[in-house]
Chains A and B, each alone.
Chain A
Amino acid sequence: MSAIPISWYLVLSAILFGLGVVAFVFKRNIITIFMSIELMLNAVNLAFVAFARARGALDGLVFVFFVIVVAAAEAAVGLAIVIMLAQHRESLNVERVNLLKL
């Protein structure tokens, strides 16, 4: 049924991760920077699932689970910080956040 080599999935995962890094570097809006981190996490998840498939074991899927849980926790705290920043600085541009205090 599925004669797709695992390497295809891994290459796709690498491409997505690379695009995530590019987005992380180039975006200036703190929310979109946050989103590019999520994109990188997703790329890693794809690699995990592909490896789990190749090994015929389920450990990889368990790790995907943990990654998703950590991403959810990170989103909750991160977005709270974003809201705080936006209220104090009245801008979402990271280049305006250049002081070590709020």
Chain B
Amino acid sequence: MSVPIILFFVCALLAVVGAVLLILAREPIHSALALVLVMMSLAVLYLLLGAPFVAAVQIIVYAGAIMVLFVFVIMLLNAGVEERTDFSKIAKWAGVPLGFFLLLLIAHFLAHSSIGTAIATGTGAATQAADTRELSTQLFRQYLFPFEATSILILIAILGALVLARKDE
């Protein structure tokens, strides 16, 4: 057992536990914290995959901005314990087994596809700086149009949020 493998299993376990807690928690804040746990462990996995820049962005934007916004809204609305209502019977008896079947199916195909058996090679740490530079070059050359499109998307999102939040006269 080398250090990366142990690290992978610890983070994978934390991510799955976080996702399960997200489902089980009754308080919305606890769900939010569980999701932050998932995001943190995913960030460590990104580091293992040799993508430190994406890991940092994941923490800054996802954990540091989006989830803080969620926590803020939960605090603002003073959202209490989630009330349980009757589940649809179909969802209960057919949904869960079908969901797991789908999951197993996906896992099976992933594990046996040609790309799934490839082994991550190369050393991540040595090429970090070059990778970040290369990434930005690609983002601003090859993917310039999608990049500009997302900036318009953000502008629209800001306008949308403003319109929704505006008080009615």
Contact = CB atoms under 8 A, between A and B. Distances in A.
Interface residues of A, number: 72
A31 B61 contact: no
Contact of A70 (B45, B51, B74, B153): B153
A28 B83 contact: yes
Most central of B106, B120, B121, B158 by chain A CB within 10 Å: B120
A25 B95 contact: yes
B111 A35 contact: no
Contact of B49 (A28, A53, A86): A53
B111 A52 contact: no
Contact of B99 (A21, A52, A76, A95): A21
A67 to B, nearest CB: 10
B99 A22 contact: yes
Contacts of A51: 115
B139 A38 contact: no
Interface in B27-62: 28, 31-32, 35, 38-39, 42, 45-46, 48-51, 53-54, 57-58, 61-62
B154 A69 contact: yes
A10 B15 contact: no
Contacts of A95: 85
B134 A58 contact: yes
B153 A26 contact: no
B111 A54 contact: no
Given A8-B8, A59-B138, A73-B154, A39 B79 contact: no
28 contacts: A4-B5, A4-B119, A5-B119, A7-B111, A11-B110, A14-B103, A14-B110, A15-B19, A15-B103, A15-B107, A18-B99, A18-B102, A18-B103, A18-B106, A21-B99, A23-B23, A27-B82, A29-B79, A35-B31, A39-B22, A39-B38, A45-B58, A46-B45, A61-B135, A62-B139, A75-B70, A77-B157, A79-B70
Cβ-closest 7 pairs across A and B: A7-B116, A73-B157, A18-B103, A80-B164, A19-B19, A10-B110, A80-B161
